Amino acid sequence: MASRKLPEWMCKSKGKSQSQSQNKDIGNESQLLRFTGRIISIKDGDETSLNNEIGLLIQRIEAFHEEEGEKFPLGFDIEWPVDLRRRFFGKVSLMQICPDEILCYIIQLKKDLDKSEEVRLSDWGKNLTKQQTLYAATDAYASLLVYKHLKQVEEKNLETLARLKMRTSAQCHN
């Protein structure tokens, strides 16, 4: 079998060498894909870290959009505990956001989301059942809620920044 590589456009990264953009041979079974960048873990309830890191991420996204005129691609995934013996599916425990090959955010959420194996592992190529339709809509809805929460964090950060600028400006003029 011929070796497959990531498309060239996925390997190019502005201002980075080819080796820094981690051109991976995805057809080589002996090579495991492994993230080698910086990992920032944020635990549930650590609002300060969440606000700071998400604020920085949003600034990066906006700067990219202004410079490139394009949407900012993100790797996104969620994880939750599963006990197949007891057919238990826990709360969504972890959200992963990877904005590029050098940084990944791991955020513990602990939110309930029905991820039953019966629906999750069903045949999505056939006509959808009501359970599949609800599952798919809920999955997308959860992503929307995460986005809205992150947007609220951004707005709070902008309000705080505006207040600080006003105070600094007032102090400089007094």
Written as one string, the DSSP assignment of 82-106 is EETTTTEE--EEEEEEEEETTEEEE
Q: What integer pLDDT is reported at residue 90 of this predicted model? A: 64
Which pLDDT band holds residue 124 (cuts at 50, 70, 90)?
Answer: confident
CA R_g for the chain: 21
CB-based burial label for 54 (10 Å; 0-12, 13-18, 19+)? buried
Q: What integer pLDDT is reported at residue 91 of this predicted model? A: 64
Query: Is the pLDDT confidence value at 18 over 50?
Result: no
* In the chain, domain spans: 36-160
Q: pTM value?
A: 0.50
Q: What percent of the chain has pLDDT over 90?
A: 0
The b/e string for 138-162 (b: 16+ C-beta within 10 A; e otherwise) is eeeebeeebeeebeebbeebeeeee
For the chain, give the number of residues: 174
* Higher-pLDDT residue of 30, 48: 48
Query: Which 3 state secondary structure label does DSSP give 39?
Result: strand
Instruction: Dump pLDDT digits (tens) for 56-99.
Output: 888 888 888 888 887 888 888 877 777 677 766 666 677 788 88
Q: What integer pLDDT is reported at residue 157 of this predicted model? A: 78
Tokens of residue 164, six digits: 């600080």
Q: What integer pLDDT is reported at residue 1 of this predicted model? A: 46
Query: Is the pLDDT confidence value at 32 over 80?
Result: no
Q: What integer is the mean pLDDT of 146-163?
A: 77
Q: What integer pLDDT is reported at residue 4 of this predicted model? A: 53
Query: Is the pLDDT confidence value at 37 over 80?
Result: yes
Q: What integer is the mean pLDDT of 125-142?
A: 80
DSSP letter at 31? S
d(CA 112, CA 92): 6
